[in-house]
Structure 1
Amino acid sequence: MQPSRTVSRRDALRYAAAASALAGLSAAAAGVGAPSASAAAPPTLIDFAMRQIPAGDIRAAGHSGVINYVSMSRPGSSFGAKPITLPYAQSLTAAGLVIVSNYQYGKPGGTAPSDFLRGYAGGVADARTAWQLHTAAGGGRSAPIFFSVDDDIDRDTWNRVALQWFRGINSVIGVQRTGIYGGIRPCQWATADGVIGRSGSPGRVWAWQTRSWSGGQIHPAAVLYQRVVSTASNPGPVVGGLEVDVNDVLAQDCGQWNMHP
């Protein structure tokens, strides 16, 4: 984990612009009375895996939506929020919440290795799985899926392995529907190598950046920033009885389903 980051005046202005443009992330937020965002508090989405959190609890906590998995649980585990289901997605939408899709099956030290280690063929297989689960839950046909690089990798690992994984993903769903989750460096490399798509918000790409491994910096083209990473030693806020990660929305178009039918 990185130390907490002080919000600078420049970041505050950027957050304020994002909040103003979003007006609650979607027309739904205005219609259901979502809390208005301030310069220091941009609209937020939460991510979680253990179980589905009721839409009403998410709204009551002041969040605008979720980033939910379009991947299965790893061997030996049973995460209730993996994958997102059609009934749950419908309940979120009915409550005026937005949904963004993320794929992550393996992880470092888990019962399945990190997905990016699977190379090009693994990217093909993972993209097919992600797209099937995304569309089965009602995900937008032009919406991106953020694929996770949940590790602190170096440039050599990116070039030799992770980049090939992304190219495999691109071969199935196309660059424009491909996004990345990771620290600032993989987000920068994915942008420079042209393996992730562009947001409808000018200057933004499908980069969901975590504060981990980012040294307090935020990629200027990112659409989402995982500001709170819940761990055993530093738990995140509790929503619906579950500790969650919290993500700042940095662009009007952050890949939410309702903007990409």
Structure 2
Amino acid sequence: MTYAAEKLINLADYPIHIPGPARDAVLARVRGALAQDGCAVIKKFLTPAGIAALTAEADSVAEQGHRSFNRTNAYFTQDDPSLPQDDPRRQFYDRSNAFIPADNFVADAPLRSVYDFPGFDEFIRECLQEEAFYRYADPLADVIVNMAEEGNGFPWHFDTNNFTVTLAIQNAESGGAFEYAPGIREGDENFAEVARVLAGTSDRVKVLELEPGDLQLFRGRYSLHRVAPLRGARRRYVAIFSYVQEPGMVGAPERTMQLYGRTLPIHHQRAGQRNDAYID
């Protein structure tokens, strides 16, 4: 079955493929939000039919999700006993997650119909005002779904890449709020304020209750953020669209195995060819 992206994307409110005042207004609003605190949300980017189609697709491949469990700090680094016990680099939290790899989402099905819609990539690039902007070439990771179940969440962390582009598909019954401290380490690491966020005493934390169909653009390199733990039997689905600053990039074999439970020949063929810190 082929899906028409025009029925999945709310083009009436967001004519992302048509140059003109309406598109310019959306770009201006998103850029303003990103400049203010590194986070922009395009509410109801999907139509109700789009939400239903993407949810059904995620349900159909949910069992292909690769689950992982570990403990991590906000920086994804190892413990350093030379630091004080209360240093944020020594605060570790349980992390449980599952990713449904990209090769489970086939062409002409709902998720890739959105991703491949003419004008989508360019709209995202213009929102972010990035000059070097390419799709991630990794066949397991160019567009994936993060799947989280009761008790899962994502503890406080900084991203290694400059931005993320996510699309809320289905929420858990409760929990799962997106919490972030915008620009907390602009200019320096600001460990004292990071420690206050981790302790729950900072006044810089904002809370977003994203709804199915919302498109989020977020610059998480300098903003500490987390997804609060989920409650209830319903899974939370969030699509992640991956873009990078160099063409042809794929994940390192070790990181790919950790995230997706398997690798492909391309990961080994291109191992060691990367010179950046994006994605993994």
TM-score category (smaller protein): under 0.3
Query: Which protein has greater RCO, CA pairs closer than 8 Å, 6+ apart?
Result: 2
Tell me which protein shows more strand as a share of its residues.
2
Q: Give the number of the structure whose alpha-carbon radius of gyration is greater.
A: 2
* TM-score (norm: length of structure 1): 0.26
* TM-score (norm: length of structure 2): 0.25
Tell me which protein shows more helix as a share of its residues.
1
